[in-house]
């Protein structure tokens, strides 16, 4: 399931974060690349564990915790701390698949990458190129979202970032381990949860809505790994 989530960050948060990122010291993006990715990765990255990365990462995680759509779609168990990258001057990232397991730096914690996420800090008209192209069984999907929006997609997907030929593309990228490893099962649960929430917004609770809610939780109980 590929899901675009609007306004994860407010415009005030975007403005504050963007100013910090523009003033930050960047390094070669290959510092976090595996062997395969390093062959096609050409970008800049904020050093992991830097004060700016920690502060902005915490801001993003707090915002996601308040997003009902994100929580319903991702069912997060563990989240890798957000990273930050910048593409400019023709930089790009060729087709690759994300590493299956990520070790949280400085901690004995490993995260299985079920879902990948990108939060955009620049509006589409600020740069040319820089589309995130995600491939799945339905074809290729080009993603270039307004600042503050996020895309969530399965980490099993082949994806790439096209060359940025004008301006800068600044974003945050990271991964999570879901309580439900199967993308198909997560999609079923998400569709059911959204339908239940929509029904509740239209009518008062009824025996049917209560029954559907019970079905949702019974499925989650069977499929969740904690």
Residues at the binding site for Fe cation are: 96, 98, 159
* Structural contact between residues 120 and 148, judged by C-beta atoms closer than 8 angstroms: yes
Q: How many CB atoms lie within 10 A of CB 129?
A: 17
Dist CA 22 CA 19 (whole Å): 5
Which structure tokens are listed for 126? 């600020």
Which residues are annotated binding-site positions?
96, 98, 159, 169
Which residues are annotated binding-site positions for 2-oxoglutarate?
169
Dist CA 143 CA 77 (whole Å): 26
CA 117 to chain centre: 1
Q: Strand runs (DSSP E) across 108-149, as ranges?
A: 110-112, 115-120, 127-129, 132-136, 139-143
């Amino acid at each position: 399931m590929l899901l675009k989530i609007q306004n994860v960050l407010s415009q005030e948060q975007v403005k504050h974060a963007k100013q910090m990122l523009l003033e930050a010291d960047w390094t070669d993006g290959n510092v976090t690349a595996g062997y395969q990715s390093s062959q096609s990765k050409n970008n800049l990255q904020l050093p992991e564990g830097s004060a700016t990365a920690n502060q902005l990462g915490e801001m993003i995680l707090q915002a996601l915790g308040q997003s009902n759509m994100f929580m319903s779609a991702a069912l997060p168990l563990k989240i890798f701390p957000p990273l930050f990258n910048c593409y400019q001057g023709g930089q790009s990232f060729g087709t690759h698949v994300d590493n299956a397991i990520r070790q949280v730096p400085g901690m004995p914690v490993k995260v299985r990458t079920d879902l990948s996420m990108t939060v955009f800090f620049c509006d589409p008209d600020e740069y040319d190129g820089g589309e995130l192209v995600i491939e799945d069984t339905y074809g290729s999907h080009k993603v270039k979202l307004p600042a503050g929006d996020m895309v969530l997609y399965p980490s099993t997907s082949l994806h790439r970032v096209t060359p940025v030929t004008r301006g800068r593309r600044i974003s945050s990228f990271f991964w999570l381990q879901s309580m439900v490893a199967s993308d198909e099962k997560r999609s079923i649960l998400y569709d059911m949860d959204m339908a239940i929430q929509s029904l509740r917004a239209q009518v008062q609770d009824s025996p049917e809505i209560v029954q559907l809610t019970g079905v949702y939780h019974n499925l989650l109980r069977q499929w969740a790994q904690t």
